[in-house]
Every structure is written in structure tokens, then in C-alpha cells.
Amino acid sequence: MKIGELEVGNLFLAPMAGVSDVGFRKVCRICGADLTFIEMINCNALRFNNVHTKQLLQTEEDECIKAVQIFGHDADQMAEVCRSEQLKKFDIIDINFGCPAPKIVKNGDGSALLKDLSKIKEIVTKCVKATTKPITVKIRIGFNNGDNVACEVAKICEQCGAKAITVHGRTREQMYSGEVDYETIKKVKQSVNIPVIGNGDVFDKTSYEKMLKTGVDGVMVARGALGSPWIFSMLKNLEIKNKFSLVKLHVDTLRKYYNDEILCKTLRKHFLWYVKDIKDGNKFRLKLATTDNLTESLNILKEVLN
């Protein structure tokens, strides 16, 4: 599959806030992800050189194609960010029109924009004009249940110059509950000529193949990768022999940027996800949830995952 002139494969890691850090992305690529997006970036924070936001832009040399996702609602400000030095190293810029988080929606960003298609048109048009890099978009099928605007949004984005579109098959109102609307994803694919990437509830080979039956060009994995970066290996029929070595790589990559005290706190959620499917794992989860020592956390994970 191509996005613009870039060969990108067809199996992607979603841009997940607080999850898709530089270390986790590296592990997912080793496990078979063709393209990994950094977590979504607040355009306004980036414009004002927010230190934490700039830290989210960390990338590794092995990221042959670097993809970033931005969010906001001011078209001129978003276009400014697209041509900024901060995003110079990125090859693909994705625009978020799908995030359902209350704090994002309250500010008029993310999936809130599905209620204002003229604003979506303005944003995509100005961002495309601001850069020679391919602009892609990620959407939900609508804001409220019954407000299915996915095909209309997809056509608008294509007409404005977007090079690909990712569709999460739920409305904002659904959040992450209820069934994924595979039929709408299929209709979006049939309505445009740019690549369409399916997203939503890809947790195993069965759900992956179900998504592929919609005719999409690619599949994006989100929650299915939490604590299970090896899902990409499973979907590609690749063997993973030592899961702990991958967890260690996740940590060691982040150690280039942060000290152990910070990492022990920020990685705790990842550590708990890594043992979520371990039989009788409550005692390990309790230890991981209460220790403030990174070495101790790694020793626990080594015992569980080896």
C-alpha cells in the first residue's frame, strides 16, 4: 500500500495517547508493524514550544518512515504546524478527527469536528497546501449514534488532497462499546479512490480477517496492542520466542531519554498490561503496581514472561 509516493505496508500501530512512545513503537516494529504513529500532538501546545509535547516527538533511526498525528480546530494554526521545523523530520502528517476523549471534544477538537464538515474541509485544504508531505486523516463514522457521516467526510478529505483515511467503525457516542460497523467501513472504501485503513476491535487473527473482508487497504491496531506488541507477529504468522527481551528493549530505548525514577512511574501502566493475560497474575500485578524500583519491575516481568 502507498500513502502518496511512500510504500508503507498495510499493518499499522495507532497513535494512542500515553501509549505510543518511542520505545513501544520500536517493539511493535520489531514484532511486524509496518508503520507506527506517534501519539497525537496538540497543535497549540506545539506552537508554544511546550516541553512535554516536544518530548512526544522523539523518534529512532530505524523508523524509516516517520508518521505523526496532530489535533486542533484552527485551520491556520494547524497549517502553521504542518510547515514548522518541529515536524520537519516526519514523512506523514495525520489529522485527528476521531478522538472521543471528553477533554478533546470539549475543546472542539477530535471527533467534535465531525459535527462541522465545513471546518474539516478547511483544515484539510490548508494543511495540504502548507506542506509537500502526504496528509492523512483519522475519523469515526459520526458523532452521535445515527449520524453516519463517514462516506461524506471521506469524499471531502479526498477532494481536498488527503492521501489516505483511517476509519474507526464507531461513533463518538459509542466510545469503545458496541459493535464495530464493518459495513460503513466497507462503504467508505467503495466511495473513495485513496487508501482506506480499517480500525476498531482488532485483537486477534479472527477480528483482523473480519476487518480485511471490508476491502480495506490496511488495518490499524490500537487497544489490541496494549501489553501485546507481539500481536503484529501473530497477525503475520511470525514467531516470538522471548517476550521479556522485547519488554527490556522498550525500557532500554526510553532510558536514552528519561531517568529510571520517571520511567518507573510512566511505564507502570505498560507493565500491568504486559501481565494482563498471565494466569494467576494478581500477585505480580500487585507487585508491579506498588514498586517504585525499575529494576525490581523488570525482574518481576522477567520471571513472568520468560
Residues recognised as catalytic: 99
Q: Are strands 196-199 and 41-42 parallel, antiparallel or unpaired?
A: unpaired
C-alpha cell at 233: 507477529
**Cα separation values, 298 from 117, 150, 231, 250, 288, Å:** 48, 44, 21, 11, 9
Read off the C-alpha cell for 122.
Answer: 478547511
Which amino acid does the sequence have at 149?
A: V
Output the CA–CA distances (angstroms, integers) from residue 155 to 198, 199, 244, 258, in the order listed.
16, 18, 44, 43
Identify the three-state secondary structure at position 165: strand
Residue with cell 475519523: 139
Give the list of residues 6+ apart from residue 85 with CB closer than 8 angstroms, or none. Answer: none
Residue showing cell 488495518? 219
**Residues 6 or more apart whose Cβ sits within 8 Å of residue 113:** 73, 97, 119, 120, 123
